[in-house]
């Protein structure tokens, strides 16, 4: 199937609120899939999760944290040693450099303690807005919405946003979700993106919001147009001549 286009219009606020309520009921215990035991471990795990599955990160971090259990230890690590441990996470050279430098900055600026404030978090090596939002919302239970690829895709498919950038998607979601639920909302969308609203083709027949979501109609329309195109192409194609017909000619 060709790439599914996003809706060109947002759903109404009433529909958006109902879609989100359904997701909340569907994923009532939604939490991060990353395994961690303290804010430092979460921060490093989120940095490693860029362009990598949480499952792969969870297979990697036990070895990493056994050898480097805190910022002080990781700050003194040799990059080659860290690269060998995290190689399966992809972009391992850049990630090794980032988590070592991040740990050094934690030690030098914050005594080895992960800060709670966004500005301080985003000043650390390898930490952008999404990573900071995850740490704030998960480790410190602060009001923050993290927009990753799942959140971006699902929010568009459900008609919650037409935004072009993750920050704009974040703003649109903040306007729809009560502040006290911000730290939960991105987990609803992430789990839904992994389980149902997958890339490239969502499982709309299994989706709890398919009666409200605009994407099933877009898919049906695309399939119908494709079917008409295939039928028209078949009708215009000349039938191949048989070998006996060729001899007669």
Q: How far apart are CA 178 and CA 184, in angstroms?
A: 10
Q: How far apart are CA 142 and CA 24, in angstroms?
A: 18
Q: How far apart are CA 108 and CA 144, in angstroms?
A: 26
Q: How far apart are CA 58 and CA 103, in angstroms?
A: 19
* Identified catalytic residue from 73, 76, 81, 148: 148
Q: For 43-108, give the DSSP string.
A: HHHHHHTTTS-HHHHHHHHHHHHHH--SHHHHHT--HHHHHHHHGGGSSHHHHHHHHHHHHHHHHH
Q: How far apart are CA 132 and CA 110, in angstroms?
A: 16
- The yes-or-no answer on residue 248 being catalytic is no
Q: How far apart are CA 47 and CA 55, in angstroms?
A: 14
- The yes-or-no answer on residue 130 being catalytic is yes
* Identified catalytic residue from 13, 54, 130, 221: 130
Q: For 110-138, give the DSSP string.
A: HTTPPP-SHHHHHTSTT--HHHHHHIIII
Structure tokens belonging to residue 135: 């740490």
State the Cα angle at 103 between 97 and 105, rounded to 5°: 100
By annotation, the residues acting in catalysis are 130, 148
């Amino acid at each position: 199937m060709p790439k599914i286009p996003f809706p060109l219009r947002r759903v109404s606020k009433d529909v958006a609120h109902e879609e989100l309520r359904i997701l909340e009921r569907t994923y009532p215990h939604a939490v991060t899939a990353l395994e961690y035991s303290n804010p430092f471990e979460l921060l490093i795990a989120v940095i490693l999760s860029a362009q990598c599955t949480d499952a792969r990160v969870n297979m990697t971090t036990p070895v990493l944290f056994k050898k480097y259990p805190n910022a002080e230890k990781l700050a003194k690590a040799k990059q080659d040693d860290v690269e060998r441990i995290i190689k399966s996470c992809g972009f391992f050279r850049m990630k090794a450099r980032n988590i070592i430098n991040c740990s050094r900055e934690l030690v030098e600026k914050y005594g080895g303690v992960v800060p709670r404030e966004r500005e301080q978090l985003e000043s650390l090596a390898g930490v952008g807005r999404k990573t900071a939002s995850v740490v704030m919302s998960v480790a410190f239970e602060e009001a923050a919405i993290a927009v990753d690829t799942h959140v971006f895709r699902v929010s568009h498919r459900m008609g919650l946003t037409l935004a072009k950038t993750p920050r704009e998607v974040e703003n649109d979601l903040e306007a729809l979700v009560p502040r006290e639920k911000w730290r939960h909302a991105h987990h609803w969308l992430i789990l839904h993106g992994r389980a149902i609203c997958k890339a490239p083709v969502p499982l709309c027949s299994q989706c709890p919001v398919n009666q409200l979501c605009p994407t099933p109609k877009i898919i049906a329309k695309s399939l119908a147009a494709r079917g008409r195109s295939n039928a028209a192409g078949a009708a215009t194609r000349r039938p191949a001549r048989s070998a006996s017909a060729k001899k007669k000619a």
